[in-house]
Amino acid sequence: MRFKHLLGSLILVTGLIGLLPSCVENSGEENQEVTARKPVLENLANTVIIPGYENLLAQMTLLDQAVNNFTGEPNQAHLTALRADFENTYSQWQKVSFLEFGPAFSQTLRAEFNTFPTDNFSIDNAIESGEFSLTGFSTTNRRGLPAMDYLIYGLADSDEEVIEKYSTDVNSGNRKEYLMAVSQLILNKIDLVYNQWVPSGGNYQEEFIQKDGTDVGSSFGEMVNALSQYLERFSRDARMGIPLGKRSQGVIIPRNVEAYYSQKSIPLLKAHISGMKDFYLGNREGNEGKGFYDFLIEIKTGEDEGLAQRILDQFDLILSRLDQVPSPLSATIQNNPAPAEAAHLELQKQVILIKTEFSSALGVLITYQDNDGD
pLDDT score at 146: 98
The domain that holds 232 is classified in CATH as: 1.20.1420.20
pLDDT score at 17: 42
Write down which residue in 202, 226, 258 finishes a domain: 202
Neighbours of 335 (CB within 10 A): 9
- Are 151 and 262 within one domain? no
Q: Average pLDDT over the chain, rounded to whole?
A: 91
Write down which residue in 149, 169, 202 finishes a domain: 202
- Are 293 and 362 within one domain? yes
pLDDT (average), residues 147-154 = 98
pLDDT score at 305: 67
**Domain-embedded: residue 13:** no
Which pLDDT tens digit goes with each residue over 227-285?
999 999 999 999 999 999 999 999 999 999 999 999 999 999 999 999 999 999 999 88
pLDDT score at 136: 86
Percent of the chain with pLDDT over 70: 88
pLDDT score at 36: 86
pLDDT score at 371: 55
pLDDT score at 301: 55
Confidence band of 299 (pLDDT split at 50, 70, 90): confident
- Are 162 and 293 within one domain? no
The packing angle between helices 338-352 and 307-323, to 10°, is 160
Which pLDDT tens digit goes with each residue over 7-24?
444 444 444 444 444 444
**Domain-embedded: residue 331:** yes
What Rg do the C-alpha atoms of the chain give, in angstroms? 25
Name the residue range of residue 336's domain.
213-369
- β-bridge partners, 287: 284
pLDDT score at 359: 97
- Are 264 and 179 within one domain? no
Q: How many domains does the chain have?
A: 2
pTM over 0.85: yes
**Domain-embedded: residue 359:** yes
- Are 349 and 318 within one domain? yes
**Domain-embedded: residue 193:** yes
| Cα–Cα distance measured from residue 84 to residue 152, given in angstroms and rounded to the nearest whole number | 11
- Are 90 and 179 within one domain? yes
Side-chain-side CA neighbours of 353 within 13 Å: the count stands at 19
Write down which residue in 143, 171, 202 finishes a domain: 202
